[in-house]
Structure 1
Amino acid sequence: MNAFRSNTPDRTFEKLNTNGNFTRLAVSPGIINKHYTPAQFQKIAEVVGDSGAIKYSASYSILLSVPTINVNEIINELQEAGLYIAKQGPIVAIKACDFCDGDKMEAAEITEHLYEALHEETVPSRLRLNINGCASACYNAVYDDIGLVYQKDSFDVYLGAVPMGANAKAGTLFAKRVSVQKIESFLQQIIRHYQKHARPNEPFHKFYRRTNSAEFWQALKPSLISAFGVVSF
C-alpha cells in the first residue's frame, strides 16, 4: 500500500514558494552516466535538508527545491560531489542514453563533442536534443525535438516529435546515415533555421510542423546529399 499511501505531495515547488523563496535544480550523475553513488545521495539529502524537497523527474534527473539564498553554495557542493546540474531556460538541452551501461560506447566521444559545441545555445524555446547509442533507441530519442540514433559511424536524425498530450507522436525521420564527421554541422544548420524562422517562444515541434514544406528545409536537403553524404530522407 505504500505505492498509494500519499498521493498528494505537501512540499511541491509551488507550495514551498508560497511562504519562501526556493530555486529548483535538475541534478544527475551526468549526460551518459545514470548511476548515483551513496555519497552523492547523502550530499543531495544534506543540501536539501528539512526545508526543501526532492522530486523524481522523467527527464533523467532529480529535481531539488533549495533555498534561493543558498543556491550558489549548494551548486558548488553538488558539483564537488561529482553531480551535473542542468541549465534551465530556452537553450539547447542535450540528453543521452546510458550506452548500455557503458557496454556500447562507440558514440560516446561524438556525444561529448556535440555537448561542448551545442549545449546551452540560445533558441526560441527550450530544444531537447536526445542522443541514443544504438538502433534500439531505448531512451526514446525519437520522442524528443531532435533525436539522434547511432548506427555504424553515422546517425539517423528524427525531427519534430510531439512528446506529450493527446496528439503525442514520434518525430519524423528527416535524414538517414549522417556521418559522425558531419553531424555537428548538420545540427547547427537545423538550429539556425529554428533561431531565424521560429515565432517568439514557439516550441520546436510546432515550428517544424508549421514550416516543414518551407523552402529553407527543401534547400537544406540537396546540400546535405552533397555535403554530408546523406543516403536518404
Structure 2
Amino acid sequence: MMAKLAINGGIAFGSKLNAKQLSVIAKYMQEEDEIELTTFQQLYIEVPESELEVIKKEFNAVGLSCYPVGNFVKSLRTCNFCKGSEEEGMPVAIELNKLIAGRPVPFTLRPAYTGCPIGCGEPLINDIGVMKVRDKYDLYIGGKSKGADARAGTLILGKLTPEELYEAVTAIIDIYSQHGKKREPFAKFIDRYGFENVYNQIV
C-alpha cells in the first residue's frame, strides 16, 4: 500500500529546497515516479505506507516538513519575507503554521500569510488570510481564488497581536470543524453559516 504525503521546506525565505533535501526525496522515488508540485507550496509524493513514520522522520531530519493530504488545513502559504524575518513576522507565521496545519476539517482549507500590505502571499484570495501591517495583524476570511464566483476575503478582525491572531484563527477553524458540512468549501460555509455568526463567536 502506498500513502500520499505532502512535503515542503517549511516556512523560510521563499519556497526553496536544498540539494540534501532533494536527494532524500529522490531516495524514495523510482525512476518512473513523478512528484506533484501543488499551487500551495507543497510537493506530493507517494511512499510505502508501512514505512511512512520512518520516512517522515528522515524528511524532518533534513528540514522537510510533512503534512497529511486530504481534508485537512494546508500548511501556511507565505510570502518570501523579502524585508526580513522579524520585520515581516516570520516567527508568527511559523507559530501559526504549527497551530493549524494538518488539522482535520470538512474540506481542504487553505490559509495564507503575507508580511506586508503588498500581499505576495495572496491572503485575500485564500480561505483564511493574514496580513501584517506595521506591528499588528489583519485577519481575512472567505476568499476564493477559483471559479466564476472568485472573490476577495473579508476583513473580520484587524490590528491583532500575535496571541490574538492565534486565538482567532484557531477559533474560526474550530467553528468550521464543528458546523461545516462534509466536503463543504470554507467560502460556501461562510455564506451559509454567516459571516456575522462567525464574528460574534470569536469576539
2: CA distance, partners of 1:213 / 1:75:
38
User: Alpha carbons of 1:219 and 1:133: their partners in 2 closer, same or farther (altered >3 Å)?
Assistant: same
Tell me how large the CA RMSD over aligned residues is. Answer: 2.4
User: Alpha carbons of 1:93 and 1:57: their partners in 2 closer, same or farther (altered >3 Å)?
Assistant: closer
Q: Check the 8 A contact 2:113/2:122 in 1, yes or no.
A: no
2: CA distance, partners of 1:32 / 1:88:
22
- Which of 117, 126, 129 in structure 2 is aligned with 1:144? 126
Structure having the higher Rg:
1
Q: Which moves more between the two structures, 205-214 or 114-123?
A: 114-123
Q: Cα offset for 1:98?
A: 4.2
Q: State whether structure 2 residue 21 is matched by structure 1 residue 35.
A: no
2: CA distance, partners of 1:102 / 1:69:
43
Q: What per-residue deviation string (whole Å, max 9, x for no partner) do you get for residues 88-112 of structure 1?
A: 2333333142443572433122222
1:49 is aligned to: 30
Q: Cα offset for 1:180?
A: 2.5
Q: State whether structure 2 residue 104 is matched by structure 1 residue 129.
A: no
Give the unaligned 5+ runs of structure 2: none
Return the letter of the residue paired with 1:39.
K
Q: Check the 8 A contact 1:91/1:123 in 2, yes or no.
A: yes
Give the length in aligned residue pairs: 201
Question: How do residues 198-209 of structure 1 correspond to structure 2 at under 5 angstroms?
Answer: 198-209=180-191
2: CA distance, partners of 1:218 / 1:54:
40
Q: What per-residue deviation string (whole Å, max 9, x for no partner) do you get for residues 107-161 of structure 1?
A: 1222222233333333222222212111111121111110000112211111111
User: Alpha carbons of 1:57 and 1:196: their partners in 2 closer, same or farther (altered >3 Å)?
Assistant: closer
Q: State whether structure 2 residue 150 is matched by structure 1 residue 186.
A: no
Q: Cα offset for 1:29?
A: 0.8
Q: Cα offset for 1:208?
A: 0.3
User: Alpha carbons of 1:113 and 1:74: their partners in 2 closer, same or farther (altered >3 Å)?
Assistant: closer
The TM-score with structure 2 as length reference comes to 0.84
The TM-score with structure 1 as length reference comes to 0.74
2: CA distance, partners of 1:144 / 1:52:
30
Give the unaligned 5+ runs of structure 1: 1-20, 225-233
Q: State whether structure 2 residue 40 is matched by structure 1 residue 59.
A: yes
What is the aligned-residue identity percentage? 24
- Which of 87, 93, 98 in structure 1 is aligned with 2:68? 87
2: CA distance, partners of 1:196 / 1:80:
35
2: CA distance, partners of 1:60 / 1:101:
17
2:4 is aligned to: 24
